[in-house]
Structure 1
Amino acid sequence: MVRSRAYVGALVLAALVGVPVAAVAYGFLALVAWLQEYLFTDLPVQLGFATAPIWWALPLVGLSGFLTALCIRYLPGNSGHSPADGFATGGPPRPIELPGVFLAALATLSLGAVLGPEAPLIALGGGLGGLAVRVVKKDAPPTAIALIATAGSFAAISTLLGSPLLGAFLLMEAAGLGGAMLAVALLPGLLAAGIGSLVFVGIDSLTGLGTFSLAIPDLPPFTTLTGAMFGWAILFGLTAPLLAWATITLARAVRPAVHAHRVPVTTLLGLAVAGLAIAFSQVTGKGIDQVLFSGQDALGSLITQSATWSIGALALLVVCKVLAYSLSLSAFRGGPVFPSMFIGAALGVMAANLPGLSLVPAVGMGIGAMCASMLKLPFTSALLATVLLTSDGYTVVPLVIVAVVVAFVAGQWLPPIPTPAGPPRPGGPPGS
């Protein structure tokens, strides 16, 4: 197959698809970042406030729920899959469904709900890739559409994670790619991701908006592993699945109410998420952004400024973030990766002063164990934790692996979580 003219043509098309998909992904991420800054920081000042008042997040996150629910309820498709069902790649959305995916994700991410951009980017990249095949060849077989759609997803997610290889690794594990077809499906995606990364750098040189990277600089050096740390790795691996199980259980328990009354209930959930952020800020004096949003931007400062956090403030942060994350999973549209990383990092910072433990290995184990428990992708979870910790990541790899494996296996022993079905929608699949 690799030597066939059709496959070579698919490689060329994948390279071409990487260009517009990377541009769209860059624009989407830049728009989300600009809206977050404008709505939560600049707009209150323009309206005459010295800073955003205490209640400011309430109408914004409530509006997030209202707009997201309208997209899911009235636009074609379901505006993407429900994040409470876990990390899923699935098939690419139809072209008519792309506006719903885009708008629901924009309303979710820019107005404060606790989800990340990775799932919408994968859906948008896949949808644009599939659309490109249909434009070039209207009678293209489903396998060709799926191949180029996957390449589009590769290009989109790689812009977010800052690495074509990390994006490819995530999608391979999530989609269960393997065997003889692994290289056949992987090569177009890698090519699209590589071309997309070059486009990303080029756009950054023109706009100066910055590129995206998971790596956190200026971490304290870490060089020595100890036996005690492996004991803590096992404890992280046993604790994280319980927290993840509670998070998903609450999200799925709320979904029947969401399905029954999509718009009012999702709006109320947005108000509840804002209320959690406000309560946390009033008790601790920290910003509401620690609870709101995906945690992608706040993750670095949480780790590098860990000395400014008390144990009580960190414990309250974990509780509020988990609750806000769970409510967001139940009704909004976005991805589960970055909130899982943030919660795992907060657990690590809180545990960093335990006997025989220090900040960098604690954060690595916390992120790895929490991601493995929430995403059910152990290989990607280990890689995410080590990439985040830059040069220290190579040293903590053994600890992260132990925490990830224990968390993944321990999670299989927990009771299965029911998945309530959504109500049937006229002319489409069940709404979730």
Structure 2
Amino acid sequence: MPAHPDPPAAPPSAADPLAVIRSRGYLRILLLAGLIGVPVSIAAYGFLALVDWLQAYLFTELPGVLGFASVPLWWPFPLLALAGLLVALSIQRLPGTSGHPPSEGFKAGGFPAPRELPGVVLAALATLALGAVLGPEAPLIALGGGLGALALLLIKKDSPPTAIAVIASAGSFAAVSTLLGSPLLGAFLLMEASGLAGAMLGVGLLPGLLAAGIGSLVFVGLDSWTGLGTFSLALPNLPAFSTPTLAMFLWALGLGAGCPLVAWGIRALARIVRPFVHAHRLLVTPVLGLLIAGLAVLFALVTGEDTTEVLFSGQSALPALISGGAAWPVGALLLLVLCKALAYGLSLSAFRGGPVFPAMFIGAALGVAASHLPGMALVPAVGVGIGAMCVSMLRLPLTSVLLATVLLSSDAIAVMPLVIVAVVVAHVVTGRLPEPPGRRVSGALPSISPATD
């Protein structure tokens, strides 16, 4: 009788998460993550404080210093042109790419080498402080990851790449720990964007959560000590909302289907402009800054509102938009969406920053406009708009639901069903839309190893 063939060898079993957590090496990683979270979160707080001070000084105080009785309407033009020049010089002349191109979407994987950190900081400061329409979350993630990796390499030069990656991730968690209003929101953003999953999810996530928790404590302590603020996104004094209605669900479906079209147009504009930026960056980027300034001035001329409604990420302007925007004419709100979206697309094509806050602002503006529809209320309209617009731009459904609901505080539970409906519809519609025209350019931040510093 023929011999039975030997059974195939079993594949090596995956690492046991519980065994990893019990190991001494993992405990050392946790300790390092906690320790490194302190200086990284201090650096992140200082970066946000500097951006906030520069914005206020350059756009509010400097005109008076120069002898103007009030801020001239044309004031954004020289500042945005300077922003474009500084960002272009940083990308061309400093090591690395000054962060990944935001037109390629939100990226949480990889981190810059230490020698690339000055370029990341300079390009982000020029973008954020001088009025381009991008947010601070992507530069903070890159800065936190790079500083975390650098700190570990300074402690132990021959650290294995896996340990460097874990500590860099913890640094990113610490840097964005309170920016979105909650450490959990930052954790979900990084987790979903990086694709962490499986049995080892908790193993990789624990150091980041620890660093985020410590980062939150550091932010709160620095706020109490300096009085500068926590720089966390918050929407205070929202009207009470209790029960969704059938009409609200129908409007949620409509916003969920409409926001992907707005997001597609924004991405298409960025992708179309990007080849011109690559061909003539030093010339084209300042010109794009002038176009962004022109959109802000146009909005101010037509509506009588401030140019800062169009400029910047929208993080600080979001609470005032939601509390006061309901009194605006619908036409002014739609013009704000148009100008902000065009400025956002131009900023994505050439500047350096994150895509989250402008998407939230545009979604909130659409929600405020939608609150004028029959059967729709302000709070659910804003939640639905933020969720649908965020998932259309970021393609992160879980994070988009949390962003839209957690920020609505006491109204979150009542609003969540509407937000989920809108986010699911928007995510499906976004996936079925064709790729925007234009050349796609890879721009992920490279991971470093101990040999490259």
In structure 1, the residue matched to 2:98 is 79
Aligned to 1:214, which of 233, 258, 281? 233
In structure 1, the residue matched to 2:126 is 107
Contact 1:22 1:159 in 2 (8 A): no
Task: Give distance in 2, aligned partners of 1:422 and 1:213.
Answer: 32
Aligned to 2:291, which of 261, 264, 272? 272
- Runs of 5+ in structure 2 lacking a partner? 1-19, 444-453
Task: Give distance in 2, aligned partners of 1:51 and 1:389.
Answer: 36
In the TM superposition, what is the alpha-carbon distance from 1:198 to its structure 2 partner?
1.0
Task: Give distance in 1, aligned partners of 2:129 and 2:265.
Answer: 26
In the TM superposition, what is the alpha-carbon distance from 1:422 to its structure 2 partner?
5.4
Give the AA of the match of 2:150.
Answer: L
The count of aligned residue pairs is 424
Aligned to 1:230, which of 237, 244, 249? 249
Say whether 1:377 aligns with 2:396.
Answer: yes
In structure 2, the residue matched to 1:325 is 344
Q: What SS does the aligned partner of 1:305 have?
A: helix
Cα displacement string for residues 269-325 of structure 1 (whole angstroms, at most 9, x for unaligned residues): 000000000010011000001000000011000000123311111111010000000
**Cα distance, 1:16–1:423 mapped onto 2, change above 3 Å:** closer
Say whether 1:13 aligns with 2:32.
Answer: yes
Contact 2:104 2:440 in 1 (8 A): no
Give the AA of the match of 2:105.
Answer: G
Task: Give distance in 2, aligned partners of 1:5 and 1:210.
Answer: 38
Give the AA of the match of 2:388.
Answer: A
Aligned to 2:275, which of 241, 256, 276? 256
Say whether 1:391 aligns with 2:391.
Answer: no
Q: What SS does the aligned partner of 2:59 have?
A: helix
Task: Give distance in 1, aligned partners of 2:304 and 2:200.
Answer: 53
Aligned to 1:299, which of 318, 335, 340? 318
In structure 1, the residue matched to 2:107 is 88
What TM-score, normalized to structure 1? 0.97
Q: What SS does the aligned partner of 1:48 have?
A: coil
What TM-score, normalized to structure 2? 0.92
Aligned to 1:64, which of 60, 83, 93? 83
In structure 2, the residue matched to 1:36 is 55
Say whether 1:351 aligns with 2:370.
Answer: yes
Further displaced range: 209-218 or 12-21: 209-218
Task: Give distance in 1, aligned partners of 2:274 and 2:295.
Answer: 19
Give the AA of the match of 1:299.
Answer: L
- Considering only CA atoms, is the larger Rg found in Structure 1 or Structure 2? 2
Once the two structures are aligned, what percentage of the paired residues are identical? Answer: 69
Tell me how large the CA RMSD over aligned residues is.
Answer: 1.2
Task: Give distance in 1, aligned partners of 2:188 and 2:442.
Answer: 34
Contact 1:26 1:159 in 2 (8 A): no
Task: Give distance in 1, aligned partners of 2:327 and 2:108.
Answer: 39
Give the AA of the match of 1:191.
Answer: L
- Runs of 5+ in structure 1 lacking a partner? 425-432
In structure 1, the residue matched to 2:14 is none
Task: Give distance in 1, aligned partners of 2:231 and 2:310.
Answer: 21
Cα displacement string for residues 170-206 of structure 1 (whole angstroms, at most 9, x for unaligned residues): 1000000010110011000000111111111111111
Contact 2:268 2:438 in 1 (8 A): no
In the TM superposition, what is the alpha-carbon distance from 1:90 to its structure 2 partner?
2.2
Give the AA of the match of 1:200.
Answer: F
Contact 2:326 2:368 in 1 (8 A): no
Runs of at least 4 residues off by over 4 Å: 421-424
In structure 2, the residue matched to 1:428 is none
Alignment of 1:111-150 (within 5 A): 111-150=130-169
Contact 1:252 1:418 in 2 (8 A): yes
